[in-house]
Structure 1
Amino acid sequence: MTGREREILKLISENPLISQKELADILNIKRSSVAVHIGNLIKKGIIKGKGYILNNQEIIVIGGSNIDIQGFSNEKLIRNDSNPGKIELSVGGVARNIAENLSLLKENVNLISAIGDDIYGKKVLNELKFSNIVTDNMLISKKHSTSTYLSILDNDGDMDVAISAMDIFNEITSEFLREKSGIINMSKCIVLDTNLTKETIDYITNNYSHKDIFIDTVSTTKALKIKDIIGKFHTIKPNKYEAEILSGIKIKSKNDLEKVANYFLNKGVKNIIITLGKEGVFYKNENTSGHIKSPEIDIINATGAGDSFMASLIYGYLNDFSLEERVIFSIGASIITMKSYNTVSRDMSINNIKNIIEEMNIC
């Protein structure tokens, strides 16, 4: 924003119904000049048209949207053979899943992602709009098709193998995001996944360090993109293997978990949450640490559980939960996801999470 735009924004925040003439008189400039500045603020997404409604209530989520094609085997998988089972197609992507889960938790969300100008892209957009997620800042590519994630799950619901085609996310560049600086600056917080390029992640963490940034590591390979910027974000939720790669410390005991957590905290990260699969979740910040065991459940689909976990961590942070409360709430959310065939469960809600926590005595 320019200096003049900041002056106008300050006056509007104090009086959203102020007229352009009043603004011109206060700032001692022409009314036509005010109109130009107002137009620029609208284009940047900082205010929304008449009445000058400030666009400052949204969580900005930046990263991947894709189509998930999942195969579920009825029996133990047999390699190099055809396996009877079930095939599901749904809209997915780490950032998109996080955004939808946040929306189901009644948060206002603005997703910045990339889709192709194709039938899958239209499906992604339609489902985002159905979920009340702001899509005004999506990149629609003529160059690449919509990202697709193909996974095969065994009869226990765990992923056996997957293939991802995600070149489209290379189009989310710093130049593209610079045009979105207004809405990013006015956000509650920023959520990133590592489907973005390293250059784009560096751009966001360097230019929006005044914002609370949450990072989802996505995978061990993609997590390496943030290895040299640890401390430039607020909260991170790696699994055991991602935490080992990023810290350089092997995790074989509770003492090792403490060492890894301290590595992140000493670098400047505020909260470190390490997911340990069936062994539960370890968490730590400067005030507290703990290890919560995961309850035993029958898993239908583990894909997407980490995304609902991250969304719930963010929800808990924005609603002043303690770190322990955030982790418990997030475990409850991930259980709801794992009991669904889809990567985002339509049963996701604050009440249902609380009921799961009580029912399974998560503590």
Structure 2
Amino acid sequence: MPSPKEPTSKDQLLALVEANPFISQQELADQLGLSRSAVAGHLAQLTREGRILGRAYVLPQRQPIVCLGGTNLDRKLRGLGALQMGSSNPARQHESPGGVARNIAENLARLGLPVHLLTAVGRDAAGQALLAQLQSLGADCAGSLQAADAPTGSYTAVLDPQGDLLIALADMALTDRLDPAFLRQTAPQRAPARWVVADLNLPRETLDALRDEARLRDQRLMLVAVSEPKMARLGEDLRGVELLVLNRGELQALTGRKLGSESALRAAWRQLQHAGLKRLVMSDGARGLRFSEGDDFATMSPPALDPRSIREVTGAGDAMSAGIVAALHRDHEDLRAACALGLRLAALTLQSDATVSEALSPALLT
């Protein structure tokens, strides 16, 4: 009976790289008892074979999607009857993990994709629980900022009895600490990424640095809007941004245009194209979404839902963003198919009390 095949030096080297994609050639040589030139030769051959990618020795199936931005605790108060301003109203409360970047990361983790979240939380019970919950789903949070002198952010939403948002209050001050210095510290975590997804809770200087970084590297940068007031953080130069996801109000705030007609929407898209943006998705509530298709702005309707199945709207936009980047992670070019997956994930979230639906699974990608 033949003996099992002994692993070659190249196989052993690949195993070490898989365990630590940032290992140096000298460390590989020391652990394998090889010369550094021999290690360099093996790495060159593995790169030619497509079994690792580039200088970071990243395995192609392990390229993560890096999500950068806010994490907070979501508190949702849903009125039990018609709400009256200036008075106490009976309500039902639900708490769940939240934050745009964190929500997108959880959606991606539940889809079974490799995801790395870079965020800021406090060293309080809420912050530690939020990181632990995401890590339990397989997401990597290494490098995230944990502040001892500030609480974890919060988002409080007041919903009407139908689940529609009336007003929301967000304390996201901790996200301002994700500055260019934080980017420099977390460069190794972003280096292997195929896609970087950043929300507009980030400071203006951080967003500028991410755009510059995307232009220098072979990476795709997707920016996700969070509110109309924070559109000013984006600036006018959109070179380096592969995809921008926002809603109609945020697009109006960004372009300074009233978007009540098809011609106005097309003019807004052309304006952003001239600023350097490559692709655009605009969510449009019950009407579905609009997405750029060449010079045109195409429409896609949402899946039909029984109104009685809709729980509330919080997190649906983040699920849509996650579905879009999940599909583009597999196929860079098919934005139409990516939008279809995004709408499917959003529909599942609308039917859940949680900000991220527990019905998500890798089966949705097949």
Give the alignment's TM-score, normalised by structure 2: 0.81
Note if 1:19 corresponds to 2:25: no
Shift of 1:314: 0.3
Written as runs of structure 1 = structure 2, the 5 A alignment for 1:306-321 is 306-320=317-331
CA offset digits 1:3-40 (Å, max 9, x no partner): xxxxxxxxx77994953353535599xxxxxxxxxxxx
Q: 1:241 deviation in Å? A: 1.1
Cα offset for 1:232?
2.6
Alpha-carbon shift at residue 270 of structure 1 (Å): 1.9
Which residue of 186, 203, 209 maps to 2:209?
Answer: 203
Superposed, which structure 2 residues align to 1:1-363 within 5 Å?
A: 16=17, 19-20=29-30, 21-26=33-38, 57-209=63-215, 210=217, 211-286=219-294, 289-294=297-302, 295-298=304-307, 299-320=310-331, 322-349=334-361, 351=363
Task: Tell me: CA distance 1:27–1:104, structure 2 relative to 1, closer, same or farther (3 Å).
Answer: closer
Q: What letter is aligned with 1:316?
A: A
Q: Distance in 2 between matches of 1:111 and 1:53?
A: 19
Instruction: State the one-letter code of the partner of 1:105.
Output: L
Structure 1 window deviating more from structure 2 (284-293 vs 299-308): it is 284-293
Structure 1 residue 70: deviation in Å? 0.8
Q: Which amino acid aligns with 1:257?
A: L
CA contact (8 A) 1:257 1:282 kept: no
Name the CA distance, whole Å, in 1 between partners of 2:365 and 2:351.
Answer: 12
For 1:19, the aligned partner's letter is A
- For residues 75 and 186 of structure 2, the distance between their equivalents in structure 1, rounded to whole angstroms, comes to 31
Decide which moves more: 261-270 or 238-247.
Answer: 261-270
Taking the aligned partners of 1:315 and 1:27, their CA distance within structure 2 comes to 35
Alpha-carbon RMSD across the aligned residues, in angstroms, is: 2.5
- SS of 1:186's equivalent in the other structure is coil
Amino acid at match of 2:272: F
How far does residue 191 in structure 1 lie from its aligned partner after superposition?
Answer: 0.5
Identity of aligned residues (%): 25
Q: CA deviation at 1:349?
A: 2.9
**Equivalent pair of 1:231/1:264 in contact (CA under 8 Å):** no
CA-to-partner distance for each residue in 1:309-355, whole Å, 9 max, x for gaps?
0000001111227221111111111010011011101012354588x
Structure 1 residue 176: Cα displacement: 1.8
Quick one: distance in 2 between partners of 1:23 and 1:226?
Answer: 49
Amino acid at match of 1:300: R
**2-side partners of 1:287 and 1:183: how far apart?**
35
SS at match of 1:70: strand
**Aligned equivalents of 1:23, 1:270: Cα separation in 2:** 45
**Is residue 117–residue 139 contact of structure 2 (8 Å, CA) maintained in 1?**
yes
Give, in whole Å, the separation in 1 of the partners of 2:39 and 2:77: 62
Query: Which amino acid in structure 2 is aligned with residue 24 of structure 1?
Result: R
DSSP-derived class of the 1:148 partner: strand
Asked if 1 retains the 8 angstrom alpha-carbon contact of 2:62 and 2:114, the reply is no
In structure 1, C-alpha distance between the alignment counterparts of 2:89 and 2:279, rounded to whole Å? 42
Report the residue type matching 1:339 in the other structure: Q
Listed one character per residue, the Cα deviations across residues 204-239 of structure 1 (whole Å, up to 9, x for unaligned) are: 211232320000011101121113232331001110
Task: Give the CA deviation at 1:297.
Answer: 4.2
Matched to 1:328, the amino acid is: A
SS in 2 for 1:115: strand
Q: Does the CA contact (< 8 Å) of 1:115 and 1:121 recur in 2? A: yes
Letter in 1 for 2:280: I
With the length of structure 1 as denominator, give the TM-score of the two structures. Answer: 0.82
Q: Note if contact 2:75-2:94 (Cα within 8 Å) is conserved in structure 1.
A: yes
Distance in 1 of aligned mates of 2:202 and 2:169: 17
2:143–2:189: 8 Å Cα contact kept in structure 1?
A: no
TM-fit CA distance, 1:168: 0.9
Secondary structure at the residue paired with 1:191? strand
Provide structure 1 residue ranges, at least 5 long, that are not aligned to the other structure.
1-11, 29-45, 355-363
Q: Cα 1:23–1:344, aligned 2, differ >3 Å: closer, same or farther?
A: farther
- For structure 2, which runs of at least 5 residues remain unmatched after alignment? 1-12, 19-27, 41-55
> How many residue pairs get matched?
322
3-state SS in 2 of match to 1:106: coil
Q: Which moved more, 1:260-269 or 1:280-289?
A: 280-289
CA distance in 1: counterparts of 2:335 and 2:202, whole angstroms: 27
Whole-Å Cα distance in 2 between the matches of residues 249 and 101 of structure 1? 32
C-alpha distance in 2 between matches for 1:122 and 1:134: 14
Runs of 4+ in 1 over 6 A off after TM superposition: 12-15, 52-55
Amino acid in the other structure paired with 2:288: G
Q: Are the aligned partners of 2:237 and 2:276 in contact in 1 as well (CA < 8 Å)?
A: no
